[in-house]
Chains A and B, each alone.
Chain A
């Protein structure tokens, strides 16, 4: 049993690495393809703004200035089945620094994904992004 759990965690970690590599590459370089990364019903909460549906998410992301994400930490956990969806799903948390085209300064960010396996592909069910800058 313990071995199975360990295997699952290993899988989650490997998947997280591969997935985030693709994700940040797409967001930084090929943003027009980013809708494919999300479920049709995917949810993005970007600095508190909720956007529902992969098409709307892509439209939203396209409006953001060009970005460059550098990851600092990455972590993943497999989620108990039936908790979020009936499919295999992983919780991924990433943090790093991002710089935008219109602003040279690096800003810390935190991002949390729930990804689910759909027909052999990993898709984002929910994505929570926040720049770590003071609100006051």
Chain B
């Protein structure tokens, strides 16, 4: 140890190149390599002559050529001399082996080494190593919620302050033990803002076996989804916006393209997507008040209103959306001939400027105005069955405060063939809703005070682009892709009613695709048989008080 230290002093600031290298120093370095503790403390200046390209480029070339990657410190590029420091003796050793030269784009470059030039405390003002600093930065970025936030990692202030040039994220793959540990625990990995030019397979490999379900790759330079396939099967939430692969794609193609690769994806760029991997575009199309509360209210309204509107039950279910004294007007540009075929609009529509109906203007005030909930109900109940294509909807929220919400929805709907409605027609509509908001006991109640509706025949272009995707009836009681909390809640209710054991209850719910009504129906059918005949549902499927359990099972043995 003492001898080594002596030698270390001896070789302090030793200029190492092709002419000065000796077998003694090679032997010394080889010795040091076996004793990393002391070796990592001293830094060697690597000097390259006439380098024209960028710094990251020279690091990539050197680490590839000499087969050892390193994290450079205190890099400078002055005139013809490019230099950096490293504590990697392996690199120095390989430089010696390869005669201090490396090729790059048809040129040979010479390297000089100023051996043992500085120590860790010269750079970091304390006894530490680059590796320790990197490890501590990574550990600091791991949160209690199992999120590993490596966003803008290379620019971390700790690196900048210590002049550590962490020139690319994949340098992290050297830190095998650290990354394996991170890989084991991380559930969400954030890699945003790292100037990545492809999905970093060498980093992601550490996360293959983990419970990683969310990954944020947004605001990088990634042109394709290649390299993500190894983790893709488990990913539920993905952020990928701000990458070249998103450009020149309309929202629907974008979602489809990505959803195909990620079978479990439920959220893309912070937007929830449904079972068919298609998001509902209205979510991202309104601007005026894009806060979370508005989103929740608007989404709820649209889902509930239009699924009830389209449901066969008629319009009873939409009546509660309206105030008692709500007003509704419907305007259309139908000609007289069209009107004859569309009798249900009949006398309930109006138009101030339709030239063919000029005579109506005089009495417009009384004409086609619905001014009560009952009246609105009458109008809509004359309509045939409809299907609204939510994927064509655009929504603008013009105003949302504590007293009023103003909402404009444009979209496409279809009237189905039914008795009295011989043809199927596709229309475009605009509906503007003005809601009154009452707050009672901190609960806000939204009711429609005014509605204006505008209906026109859809253009051929609109027809071509609508009803492309399966329409999900969101009104049915089957939860789409229920989360574990939703399942837990359903289970609890189902168990409470039926007193079944958890496994049995879960089995029955799963069988009925988590539709609690169907599960209840099946159960009650079988249960009534139980009373009349017995044993269609076995006794051991039911919940039993803990202390009675043994008795019960012995009882069952007897029965068997």
Residues of chain A at the chain B interface (Cβ within 8 Å): 5-7, 9-10, 13, 16-17, 43, 45, 48-50, 71-77, 79-80, 82-84, 91, 93, 95, 108, 110, 112, 114, 126, 128, 130, 132-136
Inter-chain contact A112/B430, CB cutoff 8 Å:
yes
Question: Which residues between 276 and 326 of chain B lie within 8 Å of chain A, taking CB atoms?
Answer: 281, 285-288
* Residue in contact with A74 in the complex, picked from B287, B353, B365, B428, CB distance below 8 Å: B353
Q: Is B354 an interface residue (CB 8 A)?
A: yes
Q: Does the CB pair B396–A130 fall under 8 Å?
A: yes
Known contacts A17-B352, A126-B399, then 13 further A-B pairs from the complex at CB < 8 Å, ordered by chain A residue = A17-B353, A45-B398, A73-B351, A73-B354, A74-B351, A83-B449, A95-B430, A108-B456, A110-B430, A132-B459, A133-B461, A135-B252, A135-B394
Known: A43-B288, A71-B353, A73-B333. A135 touches B250 (CB 8 A): yes
Contact A75 B410 (CB under 8 A): no
Cβ B410 vs Cβ A132 within 8 A: yes
Which of A45, A79, A132, A135 is close to B428, meaning CB atoms less than 8 Å apart? A132
A75:B454 contact, CB within 8 angstroms: yes
Q: Within 8 Å CB of B408, what residues of A? A: 112, 128, 130
CA distance A6 to B362 in the complex (A): 12
Asked, given contacts A73-B353, A76-B352, A93-B331, whether A136 binds B251 with beta carbons under 8 Å apart, the answer is yes
Q: B394 to A130, Cβ gap below 8 A?
A: yes
Please give the distance in Å from A71's CB to the nearest CB on chain B.
Answer: 6
Query: Does the CB pair B250–A9 fall under 8 Å?
Result: no
Q: How far is the CA of A79 from the CA of B449 in the complex (A)?
A: 9
Chain B residues within an 8 Å CB radius of A93: 331, 430, 432, 452, 454
Docked pose: A89 CA to B432 CA in angstroms: 15
Query: What are 22 A-B interface contacts by the 8 Å CB criterion?
Result: A10-B365, A45-B288, A50-B288, A71-B353, A73-B351, A75-B454, A77-B329, A82-B403, A83-B403, A83-B434, A93-B430, A108-B428, A110-B430, A110-B454, A128-B398, A128-B432, A132-B462, A133-B461, A134-B464, A134-B466, A135-B251, A136-B251
A45-B396, A93-B430 known; A136 vs B365 contact (CB < 8 Å): no
Of B327, B371, B399, B430, chain A has the most CB atoms within 10 Å of the CB of B430
What is the minimal beta-carbon distance from A12 to any residue of chain B, in angstroms? 9
Q: Is B436 an interface residue (CB 8 A)?
A: yes
A79 touches B434 (CB 8 A): yes
Contact status B333-A72, CB under 8 Å: yes
Tell me, rounded to whole Å, the shortest Cβ–Cβ distance linking B323 to chain A: 10
Given A16, A48, A77, A136, which contacts B396 in the complex, CB threshold below 8 Å? Answer: A48
Q: Is the CB of A75 within 8 A of B371?
A: no
Instruction: Count how many pairs of residues, one from A and one from B, have CB atoms less than 8 Å apart in the complex.
Output: 145
The smallest beta-carbon distance between B363 and chain A, in angstroms, is 9
Inter-subunit contact B452/A134 (CB<8 Å)? no
Least distance between B206 CB and chain A CB atoms (Å): 38
Contacting residue for B468 out of A76, A82, A136, CB 8 A: A136
Q: Does B332 contact A (CB under 8 A)?
A: yes
Contact B454 A91 (CB under 8 A): no
The CA-CA distance from A45 to B408 in the complex, in Å, is: 11
Contact of A9 among B253, B369, B434 (CB under 8 A): B369
- Minimal beta-carbon separation of A24 from chain B (angstroms): 11
- Interface 1/0s, chain B 363-374, versus A by CB < 8 A? 011100101000
B399 touches A136 (CB 8 A): no
Question: In which size bucket is the chain B interface?
Answer: 35 or more
Q: Are A9 and B410 in contact (CB under 8 A)?
A: no
In the complex, A7→B369 CA distance in Å? 13
Q: Which of chain B's residues have a CB closer than 8 A to the CB of A72?
A: 333, 353-354, 456
Contacts of B192 in A (CB 8 A): none
Contact of B410 among A10, A17, A130 (CB under 8 A): A130
Rounded to whole Å, the gap between the CB of A50 and the closest CB of chain B is: 4
Residues of B within 8 A of A49 (CB): 287
Judge if B404 is at the interface, Cβ distance under 8 Å. Answer: yes
Nearest first, the 4 closest Cβ-Cβ pairs linking A and B are: A134-B465, A75-B331, A50-B287, A110-B430
The reply to whether A45 and B287 contact each other, CB–CB distance below 8 Å, is yes
Q: What are the residues of chain B within 8 A of A7 when measuring CB–CB? A: 365
**A residues within 8 A CB of B459?**
108, 132
Q: Say whether, besides A45-B288, A83-B403, A128 and B461 are in contact (CB < 8 Å).
A: no
Asked whether, in the complex, the Cβ of B462 is within 8 Å of the Cβ of A75, the reply is: no
Tell me the minimal C-beta distance from A3 to chain B in angstroms. 10
CA distance A108 to B454 in the complex (A): 12
CB distance from B250 to the nearest CB of A (A): 6
Flag whether B391 is at the interface (Cβ < 8 A). Answer: yes
Instruction: Report the separation of the CA atoms of residues A38 and B454 in the bound assembly, to the nearest whole angstrom.
Output: 24
Assess the A112–B364 pair: CB atoms within 8 A.
no
Interface residues of B in 352-407 (CB under 8 A from A): 352-354, 361, 364-366, 369, 371, 391-392, 394, 396, 398-399, 403-404, 406
Partner of A75, one of B281, B329, B391, B434: B329
Give the complex CA separation of A74 and B364 in angstroms.
12
For window 461-492 of B, CB contacts with A under 8 Å fall at 461-462, 464-466, 468
Please measure, in the bound complex, the distance between the C-alpha atom of A112 and the C-alpha atom of B219, giving whole angstroms. 37
Pairwise interchain contact A136-B352, C-beta atoms closer than 8 A? no
A80 to B461 alpha-carbon distance, docked (Å): 38
Chain A: minimal CB distance from B302 (Å): 16
Residues of A contacting B391 with CB < 8 Å?
136
How many whole Å from A99's CB to the nearest CB in chain B? 14
Across-interface contacts of B432 in A (CB, < 8 A): 91, 93, 112, 128
Asked if B352 and A16 make an inter-chain contact with CB atoms under 8 angstroms apart, the answer reads yes
Closest to A6 in B: B365
Given A13-B352, A126-B399; A48-B428 close (CB under 8 Å): no
Q: Decide: A95 near B352, CB < 8 A? Known: A135-B250, A136-B391.
A: no
Verify A84–B404 contact, CB threshold 8 A.
yes
Say yes or no: is B188 at the interface (Cβ < 8 Å to chain A).
no
Contacts of B428 in A (CB 8 A): 108, 132
Interface residues of B in 208-258 (CB under 8 A from A): 250-253
Tell me if B450 counts as interface (CB < 8 A to partner A).
yes
* Bound: A103/B252 CA distance, A: 26
Q: How far is the CA of A112 from the CA of B452 in the complex (A)?
A: 9
